[in-house]
Amino acid sequence: MIALINGLLIRKATSSVIIDANGVGYRVFVPLTTFYNLPETNQPVTLHVHTHVRPDAISLFGFVTGREKDVFELMLSVSGIGPRLAMNILSGISAEDLMKAVSDGNLNRLVSIPGVGRKTAERMILELKEKMVKLGASDSFHEGGGDVAVFDAVKDDALSALVNLGYKTHRAKEILDKIGNESPQPLSLDVLLKRALKILAG
Sign of the dihedral through C-alpha 186, 201, 128, 36:
positive
- For position 152, what pLDDT does the model report? 67
What is the bridge-based pairing of β-strands 57-63 and 44-54? Answer: antiparallel
| Residue range 17-58, pLDDT digits in tens | 999 998 999 999 999 989 998 999 999 999 999 999 888 888
Residues of the chain with pLDDT under 70: 136-153
How many Cβ atoms are within 10 Å of 121's Cβ, its own excluded?
21
Q: Give pLDDT, residue 145.
A: 46
Burial class (CB in 10 A: 0-12, 13-18, 19+), 160: middle
Read off the pTM: 0.65
Catalogue all structural domains in the chain, each as residue range(s) with its CATH number: 4-63 (2.40.50.140), 66-141 (1.10.150.20), 146-201 (1.10.8)
Phi and psi, residue 145, nearest 5°: -85, 100
Residue 107 confidence (pLDDT): 92
Which pLDDT does position 139 carry in this prediction?
Answer: 42
Report the alpha-carbon distance of residue 171 to residue 84 in Å, rounded: 20
Please give the pLDDT value at position 16: 94
For helices 118-137 and 95-104, the axis angle rounded to 10 degrees is 100
Which SS3 state, helix, strand or coil, does residue 155 take?
A: helix
